[in-house]
Structure 1
């Protein structure tokens, strides 16, 4: 269990930790000289029954609140210290508000210096504390009257901490490793050591990690867990890691950084969050307010983009996007605190809902519905709700990353929810079975209607089908649905057209005869069909009359108009598309250029450009950096 002190300056936090553990956590020269904690202090104690407890002693002075916030970023238990003579003071109130914003619900109150006041004052101070705690997560926390000089109350508090540690549910080492760096130092003979609480996963000697957000690869050379040498450390422990790396310099790592598994390295400068504004604030939190963001052990400058309403009233909560000056390594569920631009007061805080907030459409109703789903703590329930709120697919890799789910955990989730997975250019998209079946039914209904209204047409193109069923252009979902329906022999493709398997296009007798003549000539010309003028001479037709027919045949899907004066048979274009696929497949880079395509097909330079541009338009290929890839 990790315990952090909290409370006003000079109320006896450091003295109390010293009495409990035998360790003086004031390690700096200035702290010794001034008799006041300036930075975080650390101590460990074994209270019996194998309950080894780590203590983080925080400074109480308002000028060092930044350090206090770094110390309480990831703790299990809060020890709020209040002097009986003073009672609750300004920093008592602010520290309690911070603990509340961080979601702390386990703790105890040490009422110190009871030997300096009367019994009546002790009772009054207890009442003041109880009133302060009302409505907070620590409302039911026990109060321990204490006098550290005589030892009064020390044993009772020690036993309570021991029992709390014993009943604290062990944190599962699920997910990838995450450590909040709140301390770094050079150890003679060992090198750089970073220390902090482990939020998730586990690590062992020899593991490769990343210093984030910088992205520096390191290797773990040694581990101390809960201040004892260890081969491994896991979630719920404070640990110190001796790290090394070819790109690592000592000054590169410090408080506010993260040490994480490489799979988690995805720093972001836009965090979609749920924010609660303190009821003590005089005014609402307005859109685009500049703030200091405290998250993990880091502090960053940010702007608050309020979503939905343009402001969040005191005592109220709402969604917002934090737009940061520099990226941080945050994940879903991470708690944070906001302070005003001058860093003089705490405004509010909350939790990260989506660490990868979009720059566009962030305040739309559909996006707010997605955030409502994402805020659900349980991954399975959140994903299930998100599938309903995001009909165009949930990026499963991004969901797993935001929730720190490893491959096995995500696969188990996908199986449990019967998610239909579609491979898209940017990753795997997940869809509910209801959405999948609904779109299949829509496609079949649209085609039935299309054939009824246009019996002479082969069917709509995929782009026309997208518009008819209401999915975005180039939808990977629709493409996957079509592939499955073709595989089930419910649909077939003819060139760019999609039709029901039983559909036969019914052309007029004259058009059918002319199409047969045109097809014969185009087929005989191979991969290089004649231009319209040449085709008209071969058919002994007026060029304008033939062009009108060719355009009509292309509109119905029987021909493909590749260029202004050149039409192809669908089968010919499929052969040219297959040549592109083969070239890309033979390349180590998965791409090819126009010269290679010209040589493979033998169709000449000018026609090569026309064909490749057509393949780009129909989404067979994609032009990137002077080369083409299969789209």
Structure 2
């Protein structure tokens, strides 16, 4: 060009046979003198298909005179670059002239998506073979974490992976202190709170990798520290002992949960944590929304019912009432519970042996 190119000049952009309008954003100066070279970001008015290394030409909007040309360094920038930022200029220089390892490392440094190797190839302009080799070199140097699953490879910088793990561990420490009776931090809640950028499948892979590395433990529903075991403190254990004794003494005539809480001097709302713990550990069994039995008593009920059905072949509500020395109030929901558990199956007013007894 015969005159300087000023920042944000409107231009015509030519790449191959495509033409579109746009503006030139100079990243390290206010104007580019004739014959000079600089890094710039092109803000196009319409999409253009480009690959790293593609050559392009720009011409003035009006009159239509050739200004100069350039080379595509980053065809898929994640954001608009800030001007006069040394880190931006260094990053562009790396993308332009860096090694495959440097390009891959730079791409992953700003990526929290746990991308596949194929995504990294598209984002860096490298071939998949180059990404594979670079990933192997970075892994060997302790800089990269590769998570492999079903023939696919997901990539994260090692320090990013460890910072994620550290973030989770700190959250788990707090959660276990606050909820010592719970199995652990619910997985979906953890994902939605800290890892919204990851879909459920990728998040599960990340957790399993951390578990294999001994950083945490994973169950079907929760995440917990390696050393954590849910359990009551001394005061809670006293309450549990009282509850178990009341339920054992009551046998097949248990009080409601509300009545249980009243007897042991425990707030019903606060007791919900304790209730869930007792249900999860099997020390209590839920029959209906407000009817709970001792786990030991339910084992006895199942044994007596199974023996009766093997001998008699059928049972009624009244029959179970007499068998367990309870009342119809408890016998009916118990039979409905055993229906759900496939111990019995209802035929009219009678129960016959269910699938679980076959």
TM-score calculated relative to the size of structure 2: 0.53
Q: CA deviation at 1:417?
A: 1.9
Kindly indicate whether the alpha-carbon contact (under 8 Å) linking 1:440 and 1:481 is maintained by their aligned counterparts in 2. Answer: no
Other-structure match for 2:106: 385
**Matches for 1:355-366 after TM superposition, within 5 Å:** 355-358=75-78, 361-363=79-81
> In structure 2, the residue corresponding to 1:332 is in which secondary structure?
coil
1:327-376: CA deviation from partner (whole Å, max 9, x where unpaired): 43x21121212112236223343221222344xx4346899486564334
Other-structure match for 1:492: 217
CA distance change for structure 1 residues 555 and 423 in 2, over 3 Å: closer, same or farther?
Answer: farther
Kindly indicate whether the alpha-carbon contact (under 8 Å) linking 2:14 and 2:57 is maintained by their aligned counterparts in 1. Answer: yes
Kindly indicate whether the alpha-carbon contact (under 8 Å) linking 1:421 and 1:429 is maintained by their aligned counterparts in 2. Answer: yes
1:281 aligns to 2:6 (yes or no): no
- The partner residue of 1:298 within 17, 21, 24 is 17
**Matches for 1:134-283 after TM superposition, within 5 Å:** 280-282=2-4
Kindly indicate whether the alpha-carbon contact (under 8 Å) linking 1:485 and 1:491 is maintained by their aligned counterparts in 2. Answer: yes
Other-structure match for 2:237: 509
Kindly indicate whether the alpha-carbon contact (under 8 Å) linking 1:395 and 1:428 is maintained by their aligned counterparts in 2. Answer: yes
CA distance change for structure 1 residues 541 and 338 in 2, over 3 Å: closer, same or farther?
Answer: same
Other-structure match for 1:83: none
1:350 aligns to 2:70 (yes or no): yes
CA distance change for structure 1 residues 461 and 516 in 2, over 3 Å: closer, same or farther?
Answer: farther
1:323 aligns to 2:23 (yes or no): no
Q: Distance in 1 between matches of 2:123 and 2:63?
A: 29
Q: Distance in 2 between matches of 1:292 and 1:555?
A: 68
Kindly indicate whether the alpha-carbon contact (under 8 Å) linking 2:14 and 2:58 is maintained by their aligned counterparts in 1. Answer: yes
1:540 aligns to 2:260 (yes or no): no
Other-structure match for 1:401: 122
1:458 aligns to 2:183 (yes or no): yes
Q: CA deviation at 1:439?
A: 3.4
Kindly indicate whether the alpha-carbon contact (under 8 Å) linking 1:332 and 1:402 is maintained by their aligned counterparts in 2. Answer: no
1:251-285: CA deviation from partner (whole Å, max 9, x where unpaired): xxxxxxxxxxxxxxxxxxxxxxxxxxx6x435513
> In structure 2, the residue corresponding to 1:417 is in which secondary structure?
helix
Kindly indicate whether the alpha-carbon contact (under 8 Å) linking 2:26 and 2:38 is maintained by their aligned counterparts in 1. Answer: no
Q: CA deviation at 1:556?
A: 12
CA RMSD of superposed structures (Å): 4.8
Other-structure match for 2:60: 340
CA distance change for structure 1 residues 449 and 324 in 2, over 3 Å: closer, same or farther?
Answer: same
> In structure 1, the residue corresponding to 2:185 is in which secondary structure?
coil
CA distance change for structure 1 residues 497 and 345 in 2, over 3 Å: closer, same or farther?
Answer: same
Q: CA deviation at 1:305?
A: 6.6
Q: Distance in 2 between matches of 1:515 and 1:343?
A: 89
Q: In structure 2, list runs of 5 or more residues that go unmatched.
A: 246-252, 262-266, 282-287, 291-339, 341-358
CA distance change for structure 1 residues 285 and 349 in 2, over 3 Å: closer, same or farther?
Answer: farther
Q: In structure 1, list runs of 5 or more residues that go unmatched.
A: 1-277, 518-536, 560-564, 568-601, 603-631
Other-structure match for 1:417: 138
> In structure 2, the residue corresponding to 1:420 is in which secondary structure?
strand
1:439 aligns to 2:160 (yes or no): no
Q: Distance in 1 between matches of 2:174 and 2:98?
A: 44
Q: Distance in 1 between matches of 2:169 and 2:279?
A: 18
Q: Distance in 2 between matches of 1:464 and 1:566?
A: 25
Higher strand share: 1
Q: Distance in 2 between matches of 1:461 and 1:367?
A: 39
Other-structure match for 1:199: none
TM-score calculated relative to the size of structure 1: 0.33
1:404-436: CA deviation from partner (whole Å, max 9, x where unpaired): 644433322221221423479xx8542123333
Aligned residues: 257
1:550 aligns to 2:272 (yes or no): yes
Q: Distance in 1 between matches of 2:258 and 2:174?
A: 36
Other-structure match for 1:31: none
Q: Distance in 2 between matches of 1:298 and 1:556?
A: 71
Q: CA deviation at 1:300?
A: 0.9
Higher helix share: 2
CA distance change for structure 1 residues 294 and 432 in 2, over 3 Å: closer, same or farther?
Answer: same
